[in-house]
Chain A
Amino acid sequence: MNSKSDQPLTFVLRVIVFLALQSFIGLVIHRYSSTEDSNHYLAVMRDKTHRIETTLGPRTIILGGSNTVFGMHSPVIEATLGQPVVNLGLHVSLGLEFPMRCYLPHAHPGDVVILCPEYHVLADESQMTGDPVVTNQLIEQWPDARKYLPPKDDDSWKAFFDHDSVLLMHQWVHRSIKMIRGRDQIDKVYRRSSFNEHGDLVAHYDKTPPARLPMAGLRTPNASTLNRATQTLNQFEKRCRERGVTVYFAYPPFARSTYKQSLVAVEKIQHAMLSHCAIPTLNEPIDNVYEDDCFFDSSYHLRAESGRNQSQRIANAVSQNMRLLQARKSSKIGNAF
């Protein structure tokens, strides 16, 4: 016969007391991580979609992840190309398709799209589809995002319990502890108010970079992943072409140390782009490799000066391509006569 202290109930009660203590700690932590934040970084999508809805075409549209937010200087591009710029880039973890799906309903004949996705969304299947944690955060800040997100798989609830829920807890704890410790210098940059009217992030221009966040080298992608990526890009290009929109592809800026670690993967991506992607490419990966100190807090986030140079080079390349396209069109018309 069991003694009283050896009853499962005694154990369960102790577990409940322990969990109650953890819940109390969780509540304290939660106090510092309220999601109701109109100045949240992801809430800027409201402003970006508003701009694309209200800016009359033809326009230059920038699509990609956060590399475009940090590294693209829309005023520089606007001055070179002579048409208004809307920077729709936001976050690499929203996946490859999300920015494209945001743009397509607002496509306008004559628009020029500069597509500049991070290598990670081209090389990693899980990144390509978007990170559910960030996606959920975006929905919290901007419920309309649901309209633009790619449809979910049937077993996504299973994925939520098996994978995403742990990540959500991690992110919640991480964010809260960072705030408790007062190390929110980065967070002062990652705010809705840090963007200019075009959708470029400008708050980091005059800030000293924190220690650069680590970035593991890219894992070498397999053929099916690259195939899926190029197919997605080609489908987007086709839909744009049908709407009279010209699309260009640009490789993102990359820190030299990470580039060195990711060389094989980058070469594979470049090879796949050359062989299978129908979108004209504005540059080579090596053209966008900058020294590590040109970056703010990750291997994709350029600081002000390097970002200006990068934007100017991309604008020049687009301009040159557009002139060539124009010349080709004119010669076709000439030949027709």
Chain B
Amino acid sequence: MTFTTSTFPIFLAIVFALYWSVRGHVAQNRVLLVASYSFYAWWDWRFCFLMLGSSLVDFELSRRIHLTANHARRKWLLATSLASNLGLLAIFKYYNFFIENLLVLTSKIGWAPDINTISWVLPLGISFYTFQTLGYTIDVYRKRIPAAANVTQYLAFVSFFPQLVAGPIERAEKMLPQFGVKRHFNLSHAKEGSKQILWGFFKKMVIADRLALAVNPVFDDPSIYSGPHLMMATIFFAFQIYCDFSAYSDIAIGTAKLFNLRLTQNFAYPYFSQSISEFWRRWHISLSYWFRDYVYIPLGGNQHGSFRRRMNLMVTFLVSGLWHGPAWGFIAWGGVNGLAVSLPGFGSSRSKHAKAGLQPAPPQAKSAKLESESATSNEKRAIETPGSEPFLPRPITLVRIYATFATICATWILFRATSFSDAVLIYQQIATDLFNGEAYRELLQFLDADRYQRKTATFLLVFVCWEWVFRRDSFPLQLRRVPLVMRWMVYTTLIWSTLYLMPKTGVGEFVYFEF
């Protein structure tokens, strides 16, 4: 099941009614557990067993890690957990990629081993829930948290349906205590959650899906488009993926609020960032901090000099690229971002925030002390007013935002292009036509003739302005100081305009489902 269907509101209404009609947190967890597995089974019931198996293995291993004081045995148990989780990912997600590349490599030395790729379905959300359980086991190993004593509580945490398929990737440290007590209904949370859900639907169905119609044909066959057209498609893609993914997070966070559960803020106006490192503190926050805590810091973080720090950053970003998908384009995308973050004077901004101690995401871990920072403090850092405090930004702020956005767009080409050679072609075409006036005129003519894309570009502009105005809020539809009547008018307009303006081809899949 996905959020943007008629099934979801019906499902949500049923779960909401059941959840608040039972007594005690045990019953609430049971309701959520059954709901979450039903939600997942709607897509393919067979994979429920995979998720259940993976969760139970981690539950048992973590329990044993917690109970034993023998260091070697603890290590061995952790290694088993890592092997089972990463093994699942390796089999379902990376097996074919490794085999294909192995075959290419061996063919170069004239050897053709008899290994075949396997055609199977990538279980939905596998990258998200395996990382969540992996984080839990490592935290138990590091003695940051005790192992969960109650299996229902643990399974409800792993499979919690709003964030099961595409995150935010939650920490056990933050979530398990919430599942361990009875949740009382909180009206203000529920109202805020409903608004966030509505905002998510609007972003996904109006902005992201309309942009997809302009982006897909261009990236499917970039060879026939001019440089300016490819630039426009790249900018559109930057907003498509932002609106798509952040919409999913908004709906997930909003839904969790209806159950009085708090999820991590996953996006904090990333395109108003003034440096690449700030961008990575504002984009897919739960994943960035997962990699910081479980990859970058174990590698040594910034504890062994500048060169080692850059290497650690590079490795972290390469792994992050690979996490997104088994393709060289994603790995290159990770590498370029790693390079951008680690380059001195390029990745970090010299803004007031940077001076205040907000250094690039992973390097800001000045000591192992940061490991113990809760996700809440991560969030606080991310929601520092983006694009500086004043309503109208200073020119230098605008220049920094523009430079960061342009760099990020350049890296999105590697992410979106259907192949590495296509990405190279797009870069070449953009470079060739950079000062070609005729190509820009052609693009203007195209936009002049295409009312649909013009409209979409206008919505995008309005959306960016709206985000700028409300950038101090965790999401821009809180409207705290707006009278009730006005607020209801805004919600009503959003609902009907979403239905009216969504593409007539229907609602597309969320992009991050592929990962």
- A binding-site residues for B, Cβ under 8 Å: 2, 5-8, 10-11, 14-15, 18, 21-22, 25, 161-163, 165-167, 169-171, 173-174, 177, 211-214, 216-220, 257, 260-265, 292
Contact = CB atoms under 8 A, between A and B. Distances in A.
A11 B2 contact: no
A21 B488 CA distance: 10
Interface stretch (B79-87, B304-312, B444-452): B444-452
Nearest to A260: B224
Interface in B167-210: 184-187, 190-191, 194
A10 B452 contact: no
B90 interface: no
Given A21-B488, A25-B496, A214-B453, A263 B224 contact: yes
B377 interface: no
19 contacts: A2-B185, A6-B185, A8-B16, A8-B185, A8-B190, A161-B5, A162-B1, A162-B5, A162-B7, A163-B507, A165-B5, A166-B506, A169-B499, A170-B504, A173-B499, A212-B449, A216-B214, A217-B221, A262-B217
Given A18-B488, A211-B451, A166 B186 contact: no
Which interface residue of A165, A171, A261 has the most chain B CB atoms within 10 A? A261
B389 interface: no
Interface of B: 1-2, 4-7, 10, 16, 20, 184-187, 190-191, 194, 213-214, 216-217, 220-221, 224, 446, 449-453, 488, 491-492, 495-496, 499-500, 502, 504, 506-507
Contact of B452 (A14, A166, A214, A263): A214
A257 B449 contact: yes
A15 B194 CA distance: 9
A174 B216 contact: no
B121 to A, nearest CB: 16
A163 B2 CA distance: 10
Contacts of A22: 492, 495
Given A2-B184, A8-B185, A174-B500, A21 B221 contact: no
Nearest to B5: A162
Contacts of A8: 16, 20, 185, 190
Nearest 3 CB-CB pairs, A to B? Answer: A214-B452, A217-B217, A165-B6
A212 to B, nearest CB: 7
Contacts, number: 98
A21 B504 CA distance: 25
Given A7-B185, A217-B217, A170 B451 contact: no
Contacts of A257: 446, 449
A18 B197 CA distance: 15
A166 B504 contact: no
A267 to B, nearest CB: 11
Contact of A216 (B10, B186, B213): B213
Nearest to A211: B451
B449 to A, nearest CB: 7
Contacts of A214: 450-453
B6 A173 contact: no
Nearest to B7: A161
Given A162-B1, A163-B506, A292 B449 contact: yes
B221 A166 contact: no
A173 B221 contact: no
Contacts of B492: 21-22, 25
Which residue among B2, B446, B496 has the maximum number of chain A CB atoms within 10 Å of its CB? B496
Contact of A174 (B5, B16, B449, B504): B504
Nearest to A172: B499
Nearest to B19: A8
Contacts of A292: 449
Nearest to A29: B496
A2 B187 CA distance: 10
Contact of A163 (B5, B449, B495, B499): B5
Contacts of A15: 194
B221 A220 contact: yes
A166 B500 contact: no
Contacts of A220: 220-221
Nearest to B418: A220
B187 A170 contact: no
A269 B191 CA distance: 51
